[in-house]
Chain A
Amino acid sequence: MRHVISLLIENEAGALSRVSGLFSARAYNIESLTVAPTEDPSMSRMTIVSTGSDDVIEQITKQLNKLVEVIKVVDISEAAHIERELMLVKVRATGKDREEMKRMSDIFRGRIIDVTESTYVIELTGNTTKLDSFIEAIDGSLILETVRTGVCGIGRGDRVLKV
C-alpha cells in the first residue's frame, strides 16, 4: 500500500540524511521525499511517499519518531488529504506540434512558462496520476526533459500537523 507520511523535523544540518539513512538502513521503500522549512524557520516539513504493508508502515512511523530531531510524524494518507506535485517539462515545439502542445497544456491546466522558437517549458501541478497522465498524453518523442518535485501533502479540514 502507498502511504504519504508527513513530518516536522528540527531544521538542522544533517537532519535530511538521518531520515534518508533510516530508510536505506532498514530497507524501507521511498518513492519520493520533499523537504523545506516551514513558516517557523527552525522547523522543516517533510513529505515522504512510501509503500509497504501496514506493519512496515507502522514501523516506519515509529522509527521516524525515534529520531531525536523528529518532532511529529503523521501518516496523512490515513484520512482525507490533498497531494500536489509540480512538474516542469521541456518539449520540442515546432510546426504542427507547437499548436498541439499548447492545446494539451491547456487541457491539463498547465502553463507555458518559457518559449523559444523550437521549445516550450510547461509547468504542471497536480497529483502524481495527473502528471503521469500528461506525460502519457503527449508524444513521448517530443519530450526533451522533465523534472518533478515529488509529492507534498496536507490533511483536509481540521486535521493539522503543528507543534
Chain B
Amino acid sequence: MSTLYSKLRKPIIEGDKSLSQVTDDVAKTLETKPTKLWWFAFLLALTALVAGVVAVTYQIKMGIGTWGLNKTVGWAFDITNFVFWVGIGHAGTLISAILFLFRQRWRTSINRSAEAMTVFAVICAGLFPIIHMGRPWLFFWIAPYPNFRGPLWVNFRSPLLWDFFAISTYFTISLVFWYIGLIPDLATLRDRAKTKIKKAVYRVTSFGWNGSVRTWNRYETVYVLLAALATPLVLSVHSIVSMDFATSVIPGWHTTIFPPYFVAGAIFSGFAMVLTLMIIARKVLNYQEYITLDHIEKMCKVILATGGIVGLAYATEMFMAWYSVNEYERFVFINRALGPFAWAYWIMVSCNVIIPQLLWFKKLRRSIVFVFMMSIVINIGMWFERFVIIVTSIHRDFLPSSWAMYKPSIIEIATLLGSFGLFFSAFLLFARFVPFIAIGEVKGVLGYGRTNKSAPQIGHTPEPKLEAVEE
C-alpha cells in the first residue's frame, strides 16, 4: 500500500510503514522470546545490580565509613551519582513534554523510551540521598509529616528538603505522564494478546481503553495538561538540585550561575544517554526505520547547543572567580585546573567542551559509530563534572589545615556500578514488556490525514523534491 507524503518534509518514519505495520513492528518485540543478546545484557546488568545491592547492604550495616569520605570531603560519589542520574532524567522529560508542546513531532519515536529512561534514572537518583545518610532508616524524617516528636517540623531553609520535594514531584509527574502515554498502546497489546493472562493484565492496565473519539479526545487533553505540568519541572528540578551547592558558602559551590548551568548540563547529559540507548536499541530491536539518522542528528544538535551553554558556564565560572578578586574563589578554580584533581577537571573539559565540537560536522553527526562514542564520552564527562564540582571544591576550602584528599572505596565503586545495573536492568525489562515506541503517537506522524491534495502520489522513495511544489 502506498502512502501520501508531503513533499515539503522528509518523512519522520522511514520505510513507508502502514498503520498495522507499525503495530506489528513494535509489538513483535514483546511477542517473541528474548534473544541471547538480551539475556546476556540483562544478566550483565543484573550482576552489576547485585554488586550494588551487596555494597549498599554492607554500607548500611557498617556505616558510611565504608566510603572513602573524610572530615573534609563529606560528599563525593554519593551526590555525584545523584546529580548525574537526575541530570540523565531531564532529557526524557524535555523530549516528551517540551518537544511535545513545541510540536516537534519527531519526538514520537523516542519519547516512550526516553520517558522510561527518565523514570529509571530518577529512581537511581532518588536512592542516593537516602543511602548517603548516616542513618538511612530515618530517611522519612526529611518529610514534613505530623508526628509525635514535638511535633517536629523540617527545615524549610535547607536545599536538601527542596530536593526531597523536587525529586518526589518529578518522579510522580514523570511516572504518571509516562503511564498515561502508555494506555493506548496497552490497549493495542490487549487486543493482540493471545493468552488469557496477558489479556487480563492488559485489560486492567489499559483502564478499559476503547479507542473511541471521546476517549482519544480526553486522553489528548490530559496529555497536554501533563506536558504543561512537566515542562517547568525540566527547569526547576535541576535548578533546585544545583541549589544544594549554590546556597552554600563553599567557594566553587556558592555560584549564582548554577541553576541554568545545571539545567543545560542535565539536558546535555540526558540527550547523550538517550543517544546511547537509542543507538543500541534501534540496532538490536531493528527500529532503524523509526529511530532514523535524522533523529540522531537532531539530538546531536541539541547536544551541541546545550554543550555550548555548558562550555560557556565553565568559562563564566572561571572569569567570575578571577573578576571577584576573592582569593578563596580564585584558589578553588586554579586548584581545579592545576591541583591534585586536575586530571578530573581536564577529563570534564575535554569530554564536555572540546570533543563535542566535532559535532559541528554533519558527516560526524550522521555517523552512528561516532555519535555512539561521543554519547559515551559525554556521559563520562558529565559524571566528572559533578565530581569536580563536589570534590574539588570541598577538599581544599578555607583553612589549609583541613585540606584533604579523597579516594573512593571499593564499596562506592560497586554502588556506582550497581546504580547502572539497576538502570539497565529496568530498561531492559522495559524493552521486553512495554512497547518501546509509542505506537499510537508514531501512527500520528505517518502522514495519514495530512495529504497535500495538490501533490501527486509518490512511490516508495520519499525523496523530497522541492520543484514538485511549483507544479
A, B co-complexed:
no
Q: Which A residues have a C-beta under 8 Å from some C-beta of B?
A: none
